[in-house]
Structure 1
Amino acid sequence: MPKPPRQMRLTERHVGYVQPEAPSEDMPPPPPGMRAAMPDDHQRTITDLLGPDRGDEVWIFAYGSLIWKPACDFVEMRTGLVRGWHRAFCLGWNNRFRGSDANPGLMLALDRGGACKGVLYRLPPGQIEQSMTSLLEREMGWLPSPFPPRWVNVNSGERTIRAITFCIDRNSGRYVSGLPIEAIADVLATAVGTRGSMAEYLFATVRHLEDIGIHDPHLWQLQALVADRIETAYEPDR
């Protein structure tokens, strides 16, 4: 018999406590030292990534929010494993989308070392440039990017698939490392911006990973710690 699904400690009830006062999908102004990316910037990135012999099979490797909110259409989805990179809350500090000046957020990116299980999406053959543009508009709204796109090898079944993903630039001023898991949980339990909370971001990522059969022990521990912190703040008598 199949095992019953794991029950997350972090639930929609917890997420409901931490909501933006004025939700918005509008693009805020870029932080100091960055600028808004323009269509020509995205076109150059696409040209550099795909080259002249791009073919009609382009894959994207998703490790975080792209799993539960893809930025573009796709024609095939499969799970895969990247070696040499791991999923980490190392992209900071976000004081716009899912954080504020008082409580900035930490986003997921791939960092060096270890391995990461995630989702592969194959772009529609006739819409590769359009799909890539939508992806870059979502992930690279500001330049220079602290997590630029790059190619990685992804093991999926009997195949090794070359895919595009987003990896942290450790030389970026937005690279955050060395935080203990308790400190990361403190951030994820409190940060909220115009597009939602870090608790919501964590909840959606863990839930969708579990739904497709990927168990990330680090994120699993984090979701329990974040649930504890939200309960302490909002349900002291529970």
Structure 2
Amino acid sequence: MSANTIEHNRNRYNFAGVESVWLFGYGSLIYKVDFPFLEQRPASIRGWERRFWQGSHDHRGTPEQPGRVVTLIEKPGAVCKGMAFRVSPNVFEHLDVREKNGYLRLSTTLTFDDGSHAEGLVYIATEDNEAFLGHAPEADIARQIAAASGPSGPNAEYLLRLADSLRALGADCPHTFALEAHLRSADSGDS
């Protein structure tokens, strides 16, 4: 599968007659809300865990020096906490471009903090896209993040803002927090 998923996503869903859709954000969609929404609620999805395994050649890195951003990896029993946004379907015109580097819109069940559920969509970069980098030791991932920067800014900023946002949500994400610790440790070692 190509890393550019814009057309693929636009052909996946027919929003005819649909007034609003729930969208689950687990990465930069939590803190960089550059789209209009009708409602915003903390939520989680089951069976997925957040991992910095997707390459970013267009936002937080370059083709020569890709950054790393989060995607979701299937894991039975896992719970991924994030933010749900109820949006008008026309918002996907913007989001499909923003999330074009390997991310596909997939259906999922969202669980809100009050225990209620709703069906929604989530962008996930699957292993078969060209920008997928996969597993690496956390110290190596943190070094790659520290060195990468792209049109949307330093990759380190993405990691640190996500870690802060997850803490504000009360989300436990050992992978993200371990990368943050490696990054901060490397920064303090440089001074």
- Sequence identity, in percent? 25
Which residue number corresponds to residue 104 of structure 2? 148
Question: What SS does structure 1 have at the residue aligned with 2:49?
Answer: strand
1:98 matches 2:60:
yes
Pick from 32, 36, 49 the counterpart of residue 73 of structure 1: 36
Q: TM-score, normalised by structure 2?
A: 0.86
- Separation in 1 of the partners of 2:69 and 2:109? 23
1:86 matches 2:49:
yes
- Separation in 1 of the partners of 2:58 and 2:16? 37
Which residue type is aligned with residue 109 of structure 1? T
Q: Kindly provide the CA deviation profile for residues 42-93 of structure 1, in whole angstroms up to 9, marking residues without a partner as x.
A: xx74463244453x2311100000111123111211111111211111112x
- 1:158 Cα offset (Å): 2.5
Question: What SS does structure 1 have at the residue aligned with 2:82?
Answer: strand
Please identify the structure whose Cα radius of gyration is greater: 1
Change beyond 3 A, Cα 1:135–1:188: same
Pick from 51, 62, 80 the counterpart of residue 116 of structure 1: 80
Contact kept, 8 Å, 2:48 with 2:73, in 1: the verdict is yes
**1:203-214 counterparts in 2 under 5 A?**
203-214=160-171
Which residue type is aligned with residue 180 of structure 1? P
- Separation in 1 of the partners of 2:10 and 2:5? 17
Contact kept, 8 Å, 2:24 with 2:83, in 1: the verdict is yes
Question: What SS does structure 2 have at the residue aligned with 1:148?
Answer: strand
Q: Kindly provide the CA deviation profile for residues 70-129 of structure 1, in whole angstroms up to 9, marking residues without a partner as x.
A: 23111211111111211111112x344322456421111112223311110111xxxx23
Which residue type is aligned with residue 97 of structure 2? E
Aligned residues: 187
Q: TM-score, normalised by structure 1?
A: 0.70
Which residue number corresponds to residue 61 of structure 1? 24
- Separation in 2 of the partners of 1:34 and 1:218? 24
Q: Quick check: which one's strand share is greater?
A: 2
Runs of 5+ consecutive residues of structure 1 not aligned to the other structure: 1-32
1:159 matches 2:121:
no
- 1:219 Cα offset (Å): 1.1
Pick from 144, 152, 156 the counterpart of residue 187 of structure 1: 144
- 1:170 Cα offset (Å): 1.5
